């Protein structure tokens, strides 16, 4: 024990490990740890999908077997949340170098979703009451603006604190806000369908499956595009023509949203979903902080090995 203490005394944990593991420097050890953490982050979405899917399947099976109506809220919640949470985890796990933590993302999912649904519902109600009707463009405009509430709040905090404002962070937070909105909206539609169908579980399953599967290509993609464009403009200090990033991104999101709401064909939804995800992917590549930059090799800071 004394010998071990003498060997590692006055050294960091990395140096101690390097001493006991010949041929491995602290730089290499750090890279190994980063590699493991990165791999876990990249594949965490699979864990989320499997675990949430199993929970949903268990509730669905028990509800079918017992007919216990007390399980309906759990079924609606899980069915609405499986795909959105999986997609948020997938985006967060990409090697983009996000600067926002899991706590911030989770808060935006919850708070952003609730605030977005409340604001959109209130404004849409007042507009319909005042005008007698609300065109689909109006719905898209209101909902896309409402979903930006949480990302804008985070952006303002970062501006006040003079922290880093990367477009990639805006994209992730936009996807998170869209996920929260999609979950709550799907729950609402599921409840309405359940009531109108006199408690038909088949009708409920159809709504949860369709809206859940389409959510990444709809609300989540649209808000991700808009928030990324907003943060890109803010990151440039709104100088020159940078504000066109936001105007263009917001206009595209509203147009996609309005077209989606006006469509009545599965094939149209598939095409719009592909376009939405394609634009989101393009934004991810365009706003990648390391796009076009080669990574510099990491040199070990400490190494002990055979001479």
pLDDT in tens, 212-229: 999 999 999 999 999 999
Q: Which domain holds residue 36?
A: 2-286
Query: What is the distance between the alpha carbons of residues 141 and 253, in angstroms, rounded to a whole number?
Result: 9
Q: How far is CA 216 from CA 84, 94, 160, 181, 208, in A?
A: 6, 15, 31, 11, 14
Q: Is residue 302 part of a domain?
A: no
Q: Is residue 291 part of a domain?
A: no
Q: Encode pLDDT of 178-197 as tens digits.
A: 999 999 999 999 999 999 99
Tell me the whole-structure pTM to 2 decimals.
0.81
Query: What is the distance between the alpha carbons of residues 66 and 225, in angstroms, rounded to a whole number?
Result: 44
> Quick one: which of 171, 181, 153 has its CA closest to 90?
171
Q: Is residue 169 part of a domain?
A: yes
Q: How confident is the model at residue 176 (pLDDT cuts 50, 70, 90)?
A: very high
Q: Is residue 305 part of a domain?
A: no
* pLDDT, average across residues 100-122: 93
Q: Is residue 300 part of a domain?
A: no
**Given this model, what pLDDT does residue 299 score?**
38
CA 43 to the chain's CA centroid: 15
**Given this model, what pLDDT does residue 247 score?**
92
The least confident of 14-28, 89-103, 211-225 is 14-28
* Residue 14 · residue 303 · CB < 8 Å: no
Q: Encode pLDDT of 40-91 as tens digits.
A: 778 899 999 999 999 999 999 999 999 999 999 999 999 999 999 999 999 9
Q: Encode pLDDT of 229-253 as tens digits.
A: 999 888 888 787 878 889 999 999 9
Q: Is residue 304 part of a domain?
A: no
Mean pLDDT score of the chain = 82
Q: Is residue 306 part of a domain?
A: no
Query: Domain total for the chain?
Result: 1
Taking CA 89 as the corner, what is the angle to CA 205 and CA 142, rounded to the nearest 5 degrees? 70
Q: How confident is the model at residue 289 (pLDDT cuts 50, 70, 90)?
A: low
Alpha helices in the chain (DSSP H): 2-8, 13-20, 26-66, 72-92, 102-107, 113-131, 136-147, 149-161, 167-196, 201-214, 219-235, 243-262, 266-286
Q: Is residue 299 part of a domain?
A: no
**Given this model, what pLDDT does residue 43 score?**
87
**Given this model, what pLDDT does residue 2 score?**
47
* Residue 91 · residue 48 · CB < 8 Å: no
**Given this model, what pLDDT does residue 33 score?**
55
Q: How confident is the model at residue 36 (pLDDT cuts 50, 70, 90)?
A: low
Q: Which residue has the higher pLDDT, 283 or 55?
A: 55
């Amino acid at each position: 024990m004394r010998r071990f203490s003498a060997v590692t005394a006055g050294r960091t944990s990395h140096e101690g490990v390097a001493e006991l593991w010949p041929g491995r420097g602290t730089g290499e050890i750090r890279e190994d740890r980063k590699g493991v953490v990165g791999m876990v982050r990249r594949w965490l979405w699979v864990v989320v999908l499997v675990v949430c899917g199993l929970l949903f399947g268990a509730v669905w099976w028990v509800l079918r077997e017992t007919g216990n109506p007390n399980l309906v809220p759990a079924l609606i919640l899980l069915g609405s949340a499986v795909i959105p949470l999986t997609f948020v985890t997938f985006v967060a796990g990409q090697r983009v170098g996000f600067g926002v933590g899991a706590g911030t993302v989770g808060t935006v999912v919850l708070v952003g979703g609730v605030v977005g649904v409340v604001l959109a519902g209130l404004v849409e109600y007042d507009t319909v009451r005042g005008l007698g009707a609300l065109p689909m463009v109006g719905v898209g405009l209101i909902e896309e603006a409402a979903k930006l509430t949480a990302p804008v709040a985070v952006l303002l905090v970062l501006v006040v604190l003079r922290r880093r404002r990367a477009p990639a962070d805006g994209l992730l937070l936009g996807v998170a806000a869209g996920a929260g909105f999609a979950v709550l909206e799907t729950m609402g539609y599921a409840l309405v369908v359940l009531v109108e169908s006199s408690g038909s579980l088949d009708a409920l399953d159809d709504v949860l499956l369709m809206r859940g599967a389409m959510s990444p290509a709809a609300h989540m993609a649209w808000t991700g595009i808009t928030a990324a464009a907003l943060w890109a403009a803010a990151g440039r200090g709104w100088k020159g023509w940078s504000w066109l990033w936001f105007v263009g991104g917001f206009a595209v999101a509203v147009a996609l949203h309005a077209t989606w709401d006006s469509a009545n064909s599965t094939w149209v939804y598939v095409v719009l979903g592909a376009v939405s995800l394609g634009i989101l992917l393009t934004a991810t590549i365009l706003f990648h902080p390391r796009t076009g930059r080669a990574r510099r090799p990491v040199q070990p800071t400490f190494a002990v090995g055979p001479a």
